[in-house]
Amino acid sequence: MTGTGVLAEARTPTRGLRRTSGAGRPAWSAFVVVVAVLVATPVLAVVLDGIGSVGDTAPPRGIVAMVLTTLALMVGVAAGTLLVGGGLAWLVTAYRFPLRNVLVWLLVLPLAVPAYILGFVFLSVFDVSGPVQSALRAVLGPDVWVPEVRSLPAAVLVMSLSLYPYVYLLVRAALIEQSAGTYDAARTLGAGRGRTLRRVLLPLARPSLAAGLSLVMMETLTDFATVQYFNVQTVSVGVYLVWKGTFDFHAATQLAVLVLLFAVAVLTGERALRGRARYHQQGGRGQGLQPERLRGARGWAATALCIAALAAGFLIPVLQLLVWAVGEAGKSGVLTDPRFGEYLVSTLLVASVTAVACVVLSVAVGHAVRISGGRIAASAAQLTTFGYAVPGAVVGIGVLIAFAAVDTALERAGVPGGTGILVTGSVLGILYAYVIRFLAPAYQAVDASLAKIPPTVTFAALSLGAAPRRILARVHAPLARPGVAVALMLVMIDAVKELPIVLLLRPFGFTTASVWVYELARENFWEKASLPALVIVTAAILPVVVLVRQARRAETRGRAAT
Amino acid sequence: MHPRPLIAATAGLTVLTAALTGCGIIGGQSADLQIYSARHYDLEGAFGQFTDETGITVEFISGDDAELLERLKAEGADTPADIFLTVDAGNLWNAARQGELAELDSPVLEDAVPEDLRDAQGQWYGLAMRARTVTYNPDAVDPAEFDTTETYAGLADPKWKGRLCMRDATSAYTQSLVASLIDLHGREEALKIVQGWVANDVEIMGNDVLLLEAIDAGSCDVGINNHYYLARTLAENPDLNVDLFWASQEGAGTHVNISGAGVVEGSDNAEDAQRLIEWLATDGQNAFVDGNHEYPVNPAAAPEPLIAEFGEFKRMPLNAEAYGDLNAEAVDLLAEAGYK
């Protein structure tokens, strides 16, 4: 195939290049393996612990129900985010309507509101003692029937509203990144606009859709705070229930292994959904997909749809938090807390270091996989993403176990006191655990971008004598830029919201906004928790703003180039 | 990304990490005593007062009990912690069982803390007490309806059908209450009680405050609550239409649980650590418990005025070993009964 268009190598999947010569490539393979080992060690420590104690304790009662509930929740949230995220991505890409240019970016904002905060606000509004039901009772009498609020469907709704931006972002990026030539070719061959969308553009967006959905499902899998509000007992809830209820960490790790199996299923499903197809975009200039203008009522209907999603996932919860925060300030007479700034800084500092580290590693790993070829690197790269499917507290304990082992080894080797400093809880430990946990979203986003580079490009660079390092700097990294921007943002937001790891590993005197929320929320001081919750939302909005500005510039540049 | 940005990113990363290290955030303690605490209520006040009186400085990190205990275990002898402060007798019992707490020999504590609220070997001491008892909406319930001997079990009676609200099965409060019922009545009888609650269509709530609001709103008639949530909500809203009933006063007494502390086995300042625990159990009792409306464990200290209004009550003797040992069974029983 030459010229513009798509290379769909369904029959002969190209896993990078077959190993030829060049001393650099085994080294790149080894690099991926080292990263994978570093990421997998703490997780593995926990898995071994779990497997080692199988048989000592009986599985908890109700395990089958937990597995089924987990399945139902994951499928439900996947469907929900597909509908909302995929639908909105298509809407803003294929059509023009009032306020579209602003809404395109605003629709990302629900990502800044952690699902557990959205869940709580949802309950405070819709639960028995909330304003909605109180009003209904006042109007229709005390026995009015209302749907069960603490239920699986409500949990699916709340989590879909909170997580849809993952799908939205990746699908939108995929639709935009597709070469104009592909679209033009289909149109030239006589396909209508709608048909081209359905038959060419959407299938080409499949890998990104799969990546987005797998992130959503893993996020759903490891959540334990939101689901508990809704009385939904997933396997992750089971991990905590067993751990805290029976005082048996080993029994809990067995369930954690079960969570991990779900993750393997998700990742396998993702690969199946991608199919063996590798879609690579080749250059080509042309008009590409021009959004169609929706006029009149249809245009405003589209606007209303976007605003509804934005309101449910962002505006209403933030407004409620603001109302609480102001009310609380009125009561105590203090508007700001002196700790506000300190916690914001430590939150952002840790989140940005994590984001940069994850992205640098992801680009390097993605590059290495393409340079070295071979299954080892590819499988090792897959391994680096498992941390996302392990509940945060389990990753944290894995890091503790690993650090303690290093400490013991050092002491044995004659270093007095070993690393002591590492074991006593440190920001370094937090960063390590964060990278383990959040390498997946970074790698998924970067890899989705890299996947569109035809191997022939890499091959051409190699055959022209470029060293792998040069290819990384001049070919792979620049071409992965859209993915890098998304990856930075996803990891930063995830890291800002993260709680169990920082709670477990933090040293004395180190507090983030999420810990602050936790300390208040745990004691049900929800009104007091609204201020720190707003700090989290603010901290999560910052990367969104940066990304939006960058993406806007890139799009303007792109338009100018064609 | 050209080579320079890539190098810049890596360099920036190194600098930031170095900055974090430089700030002393990577480990390093500055106070005389370090505390791992699973209790969060205004600790600063009590510890500040202790420092004023003794000159011993204190710092703490809060977290979840199970996680903090795993951290203690992983850190072993290198742990910076001197005191483990936690909620729920089962957690204290478990920490002692895992060998993480040192045995103290303290006449002061033996004198201040009632025998059932401390470990026989001196590994931990209760410092604050909460009661888990029945709360109700006085417009919907006549307190004479309650069984005065077996109040908790009495809620399984069909006359309460559709009127009950309780906490979820994942809550430690629910679990330790059920563990104490198993201890009191045996597993079979306890299972029947919980099945009775379920048969009464008990409404499950995610936290105690929501529960109180539901009773106040009239959507539940009766609930089981920790007394201090009622006190706290009353302090904010004196018109709250919820009353408290002391459970099982003619029987075994009202179910109580404690917050308590022990000196960590690997502590490098055990002497000061013991001094702090002794202070908390004596001069510091009110500073430690009043902010959260809890009862002092030391009979010499008076409860704060708001909870004093709830009146005196007979408490069920606390059997920490039963709470700890039977907790797993309670979890299993709740699942068997279909209690969510």
Q: What is the pLDDT along chain A (562 residues), one digit of tens a residue?
A: 333 334 443 333 344 444 443 434 778 888 888 999 998 888 888 778 777 766 666 777 788 999 999 999 999 999 999 999 999 998 998 889 999 988 988 998 998 888 888 988 888 888 777 788 878 888 887 777 778 888 899 999 999 999 999 999 888 878 876 666 777 888 888 888 778 877 887 788 888 888 889 889 988 998 888 888 888 889 888 888 888 888 877 778 888 888 888 888 888 888 777 765 556 655 555 566 778 888 889 999 999 999 999 999 999 999 999 998 888 877 766 656 677 778 888 888 899 999 999 999 999 898 888 887 777 888 888 888 888 878 888 888 888 888 877 777 777 777 665 555 554 567 888 999 999 999 988 998 888 788 877 888 888 888 888 888 888 888 888 878 878 888 888 899 889 988 888 888 888 878 888 888 887 777 767 778 888 888 888 888 887 777 777 667 766 665 554 4
| B276-284 mean pLDDT | 97
Q: Say what the pLDDT of residue A76 is.
A: 97
Q: Is the ipTM of this complex over 0.85?
A: no
Q: Over the stretch B8-30, which tens digit does the pLDDT of each residue have?
A: 666 666 666 665 554 444 445 67
Max CA separation in chain A (angstroms)? 80
Residues 194-253 of A with CB under 8 A from B: 228-229, 231, 233, 237, 240-249
pLDDT of residue A346: 87
Tell me, yes or no, if B246 comes closer than 8 A to chain A by beta carbon: no
Alpha-carbon distance of A104 to A111, in angstroms, equals 14
Residues of chain B contacting residue A409, judged by C-beta atoms under 8 Å apart: none
For B26, the closest of A426, A481, A526 (CB atoms) is A426
Pick among A394, A424, A426, A502 to test the B interface (most B CBs inside 10 A): A424
pLDDT, tens only, B198-212: 999 999 887 898 899
Domains of chain A: 22-45+336-562 (1.10.3720.10), 64-234+298-332 (1.10.3720.10)
Q: Which residue has the tokens 């996302």?
A: A388
Q: How many Cβ atoms are within 10 Å of A43's Cβ, its own excluded?
A: 23
With CB atoms and an 8 Å threshold, state whether B327 touches A247.
Answer: yes
Rounded distance between C-alpha atoms, residue A406 and residue B264, angstroms: 23
Percent of chain B with pLDDT over 90: 76
For all residues of chain B together, what is the average pLDDT? 91
pLDDT of residue A437: 92
* pLDDT-based confidence at residue B7 (cuts at 50, 70, 90): low
- Distance from the Cα of A389 to chain B's closest Cα (Å) equals 19
Homologous superfamily (CATH) of B130-255+315-336 is Periplasmic binding protein-like II (3.40.190.10)
Distance CA A544, CA B191 (A): 52
Rounded to a whole number, what is the distance in Å from the CA of B107 to chain A's nearest CA? 31
Strands B222-226 and B125-136, sheet pairing: antiparallel
CATH class (in words) of the domain with range B11-17+23-129+258-303: alpha beta
Tokens of A261: 């199996």
pLDDT at A429: 86
Does A352 contact B63 at a Cβ distance shorter than 8 Å? no
Closest residue, chain A, to B213 (C-alpha): A129
Contacts of A96 (CB under 8 A, 6+ apart): A291, A292, A293, A294, A299
* pLDDT tens column, B89-136: 999 999 999 999 999 999 999 999 999 999 999 999 999 999 999 999
Do B254 and B132 touch, CB atoms closer than 8 A?
A: yes
What are B87's strand-pairing partners? B259
Mean pLDDT of all residues in B215-219: 90
Look at A243 and B66 and tell me if their CB atoms are within 8 Å: yes
Q: Residue B74: its chain A contacts at CB < 8 A?
A: 397, 400-401, 403-404, 423
User: Of A226, A250, A65, whose CA–CA distance to B335 is shortest?
Assistant: A65
Same fold, B11-17+23-129+258-303 and B130-255+315-336: yes
Task: For residues B50 and A41, give the distance between their C-alpha atoms in angstroms, rounded to a whole number.
Answer: 43
Gap between the Cα atoms of B167 and B339, Å rounded: 10
pLDDT at A163: 94
- SS3 call for B112: helix
Across B295-303, average pLDDT: 97
Distance of CA B336 to the CA centre of its chain: 25
Chain A partners within 8 Å of B335 (Cβ): 60-62
Structure tokens at B153: 């079990």
The pLDDT assigned to A311 comes to: 95
Phi-psi region of A91 (alpha: psi -120 to 50; beta: other; left: phi over 0): alpha
Residue bearing the bigger pLDDT, B15 or B219? B219
> Would an 8 Å CB–CB cutoff place B324 in contact with chain A?
yes
- For residues A242 and B330, the answer to whether their CB atoms sit within 8 Å is no
Cα–Cα distance, A502 to B292 (Å, whole number): 26
Domain ranges of chain B: 11-17+23-129+258-303, 130-255+315-336
- Of A379-383, B229-233, B290-294, give the lowest mean pLDDT range: A379-383
Structure tokens belonging to residue A445 = 């986003």
Is A60 in Cβ contact with B20 (below 8 Å)?
Answer: no
